[in-house]
Amino acid sequence: MQNELELLGLISEGNEHAFRKIFNHYSDRLYTYAFRITDNEELAEEIVMDAFMKIWCNRVELSMVNRFDSYLYAIVRNHAFTAIKRRAHESLIINQLSLTKTEYQDCTEDTIVYNEYQHILSNAVNQLPPQQRLVYSLSRDEGLKYDEIADQLNLSKNTVKAHLKKALCTLRIVFSNLMVFAIGILFFLG
């Protein structure tokens, strides 16, 4: 790309037009790269958006980058691997909860624990801002994809992604705090 160093200099100064040029130049290739790693269209799009958000947020550091293309691909690769690990972890938790429900449906104590977790999740979801709660419900409860949610709510796909990302982040924090509390109780009682 001609004038890439010049564009990066302008981006580091906050020039959005230069940023758009860099985005337009790299986004399709980065999407393809992320898709090859994740084998998931929505996740690949999210990764590319996150990578460019990171570039914009850390734009003052661009002057220290020698090979921007390598730097950009490294960011996408790292985001992709992190996303894969996070998805695998979330799937594992969901599977464990599902197994717990089916294996121990007759066991009162386990049913109570499962129901308590469901109650905590329900309360946390109800505390989300209305738009995040609606997007989360359409995605997780009804299984709709970003495009379908965007069409149904008359929002852009990126807005849907942003709402879902914020909702999941909030819910992770709630459950992380719950786990820390539970470990503290076990440590205190043990």
pLDDT, one tens digit per residue, over 128-168 is 899 988 988 888 888 888 899 999 999 998 998 888 888 88
DSSP characters over 6-37: HHHHHHHTT-HHHHHHHHHHHHHHHHHHHHHH
pLDDT, one tens digit per residue, over 60-73 is 888 788 889 999 99
Tell me the CATH number for domain 4-83.
1.10.1740.10
Please report where in the chains the tokens 């989300």 appear, as a residue.
128
Summarize the chain as % helix, strand, coil (round to 5). 85, 0, 15
The structural architecture, per CATH, of the domain 106-189 is Orthogonal Bundle (1.10)
Apex 91 CA angle, 163 and 32, nearest 5: 65
Residue closest to 8 by CA, chosen among 62, 73, 71, 74: 62
pTM equals: 0.51
The residue extents of the domains of the chain are 4-83, 106-189
